[in-house]
Amino acid sequence: MTVLELGSQPAGARDIPAPAAAEFDLDIRGVSKRYGALKAVDNSSLAIRKGEIISFLGPSGCGKSTLLNMIAGFITPDAGDIRLAGRSLIDLPPNRRETGMVFQHYALFPHMTVKDNIAYGLEARRQPAALIRERVATMLSLLKLDEFGGRYPAELSGGQRQRVAVARALAPQPKVLLLDEALSALDKNLREEMQIELSLLLRRLQITTILVTHDQAESFAISDRIAIMERGRIVQVGTPEEVYRNPVSSFVLRFLGSANELPAVVEKAADGRPVAVARCGVRVAEPAAGQPGDDVGIFVRSEDTRLSKQPTELHPGQSGVITLVTFLGSVSRFVVDVGGLQVVADYPADFRALAVGDKVYIDAERAHVRVMTVDAER
Amino acid sequence: MTAQAIDTIAPRRETTLSAAWRRRMARAAPWLWLAPGIALFLPFFIIPMAVVLRNSFNRDDPLALMVSDLTLENYANILTDSYYLTVFSNSILVSLGVTVGTLLLGYPFAYYLVRHAKASRGFLLWVVYLPLMVSVIVRAFGWIVITADTGLINSVLMATGILKQPLIMLFELESMVPAMIHRYLPLMVLPLINAIGKIDDSLYSASANLGASHARTFRKVILPLTAPGIVAGSQLVFANVLSDFVIPNLLGSTRFRLLAPVIYEEAAVQVAWATAAALAMVMLVLVTLMLLLSNWTFRRLAPWARTL
Amino acid sequence: MKNKTTRREFLVRSSTMAASAMAASTMAASGLGLVSSAAHAQAPTVRVTHFGGPYQALDQAVGKPFEAAGLGRVEFIASLTPATMGQLQANRANPPFDVVMVSRPAGVRAGRAGLVEKIDTAQLPNLPQLETSSLSPDGFGIPFVLDTIEIMYNKKLVSEPIRSWLDLWRPELKGKIALPSTSVVFAPDFVALIARSLGGSEKDPKAIDEAFKKIIELKSHVRTFTTNPEQASALMERGEIAASPQFGVRIGSVIKNNPDVARSLPEEGAAARPYDLAIPAQSPARELAYRYINFVIGREAQENLIRTLQATVVNREAVVPEDLRDKVVTDFSKLIFWDDTYMAGVEREWRTRWERTVQAG
pLDDT of residue B3: 46
State the average pLDDT over residues A245-258.
89
**Residue C84: in which H helix or E strand, if any?**
helix C81-90
Helices B82-115 and B121-133 cross at an angle (nearest 10°) of 150
**Touching B: which chains, 3+ CB pairs < 8 A?**
A, C
Higher pLDDT, A107 or A6: A107
Percentage of chain B beyond pLDDT 70 is 94
> What is the tens place of the pLDDT at every residue in C295-346?
999 999 999 999 988 889 999 999 999 888 888 888 899 999 999 889 888 9
The answer to whether A71 faces chain B, any CB pair under 8 Å, is no
Whether residue C70 is predicted with pLDDT greater than 80 in this model: the reply is: yes
The one-letter amino acid code at A39 reads K
Higher pLDDT, B4 or A254: A254
Percentage of chain C beyond pLDDT 70 is 88
State the average pLDDT over residues A294-319.
90
State the average pLDDT over residues C83-103.
92
Band of the pLDDT at B15, cuts 50, 70, 90?
low
CB contacts, 8 Å: B307 with chain A: 110, 152-155
Q: Which residues contact C2 (CB under 8 A, 6 or more apart)?
A: none
pLDDT of residue C42: 56
Q: Which residues contact B195 (CB under 8 A, 6 or more apart)?
A: B225, B226, B227, B228, B229, B230, B232
The answer to whether C325 faces chain B, any CB pair under 8 Å, is no
User: In Å, how far from its chain's centre is CA B99?
Assistant: 10
Whether residue C16 is predicted with pLDDT greater than 80 in this model: the reply is: no
Percentage of chain A beyond pLDDT 70 is 93
> What is the tens place of the pLDDT at every residue in A197-232?
999 999 999 999 999 999 999 999 999 999 999 999
- Interface residue of C103, C227, C346 to substitute, partner B, most B CBs within 10 Å: C227
- Interface residue of A111, A161, A180 to substitute, partner B, most B CBs within 10 Å: A111
Q: Are A226 and A12 in contact (CB under 8 A)?
A: no
Count CA atoms within 13 Å of residue C151 on its CB side: 28
**Residue A189: in which H helix or E strand, if any?**
helix A188-205
pLDDT of residue A252: 92
pLDDT of residue A22: 47
Whether residue A4 is predicted with pLDDT greater than 50 in this model: the reply is: no
- Largest Cα–Cα distance in chain B? 112
Helices (H) and strands (E) in chain B, counts: 15, 2
Contact (CB<8Å) C183/B64: no
pLDDT of residue B190: 94
The answer to whether C264 faces chain B, any CB pair under 8 Å, is no
- Interface residue of A66, A68, A76, A95 to substitute, partner B, most B CBs within 10 Å: A95
ipTM for the complex shown: 0.84
Strands A87-88 and A79-84: antiparallel
Whether residue A328 is predicted with pLDDT greater than 80 in this model: the reply is: yes
Whether residue C9 is predicted with pLDDT greater than 70 in this model: the reply is: no
Contact (CB<8Å) B66/C89: yes
In this structure, the number of other CB atoms found within 10 A of the CB of residue C274 comes to 26
Chains C and A physically touch (3 or more Cβ atom pairs below 8 Å):
no
The answer to whether A212 faces chain B, any CB pair under 8 Å, is no
Cα-based angle C162, C166, C168 (whole degrees, multiple of 5): 60
The answer to whether A244 faces chain B, any CB pair under 8 Å, is no
Whether residue A376 is predicted with pLDDT greater than 70 in this model: the reply is: no
Whether residue A24 is predicted with pLDDT greater than 90 in this model: the reply is: no
pLDDT of residue C27: 39
The answer to whether B61 faces chain C, any CB pair under 8 Å, is yes
Lowest mean pLDDT: which of A122-136, A179-193, B213-227? A179-193
Whether residue C195 is predicted with pLDDT greater than 60 in this model: the reply is: yes
The answer to whether A154 faces chain B, any CB pair under 8 Å, is yes
Smallest CA–CA separation between B196 and chain C, in Å?
41
Contact (CB<8Å) C359/B265: no
CB contacts, 8 Å: C184 with chain B: 269
Burial classification of residue A66, based on how many CB atoms lie within 10 Å of its CB (0-12 exposed, 13-18 middle, 19 or more buried): buried
In a 3-state reduction of DSSP, which class is residue A286? coil
The size of the B-C interface in CB pairs under 8 A is: 90
The answer to whether B250 faces chain C, any CB pair under 8 Å, is yes
Contact (CB<8Å) C112/B144: no
- Interface residue of C224, C226, C353 to substitute, partner B, most B CBs within 10 Å: C224
Whether residue B22 is predicted with pLDDT greater than 70 in this model: the reply is: yes
**Residue C276: in which H helix or E strand, if any?**
strand C270-278
- Could you tell me where the beta strands, DSSP code E, fall in chain A? 24-35, 38-49, 53-57, 79-84, 87-88, 99-102, 176-180, 208-213, 225-230, 233-238, 259-268, 274-278, 283-285, 295-301, 306-308, 320-327, 331-338, 341-348, 359-363, 369-373
pLDDT of residue C361: 66
Rounded Cα distance, C276 and C150, in Å: 20
Helices (H) and strands (E) in chain A, counts: 9, 20
CB contacts, 8 Å: A108 with chain B: 206
State the average pLDDT over residues B266-293.
92
**Touching A: which chains, 3+ CB pairs < 8 A?**
B
Smallest CA–CA separation between B162 and chain C, in Å?
19
Lowest mean pLDDT: which of A39-43, C40-44, C68-72? C40-44
Lowest mean pLDDT: which of A72-76, A251-255, A287-291, C280-284? A287-291
**Which chain B residue's Cα is nearest to A96?**
B211
Contact (CB<8Å) B225/A110: yes
Q: Are A86 and A106 in contact (CB under 8 A)?
A: no
- Largest Cα–Cα distance in chain A? 82
Rounded Cα distance, C189 and A262, in Å: 107
> What is the tens place of the pLDDT at every residue in B148-176?
998 999 999 999 988 888 888 999 999 99
Give the global pTM.
0.82
**Touching C: which chains, 3+ CB pairs < 8 A?**
B
Q: Which of B148, B150, B255 sits opposite C361 (nearest CB)?
A: B255
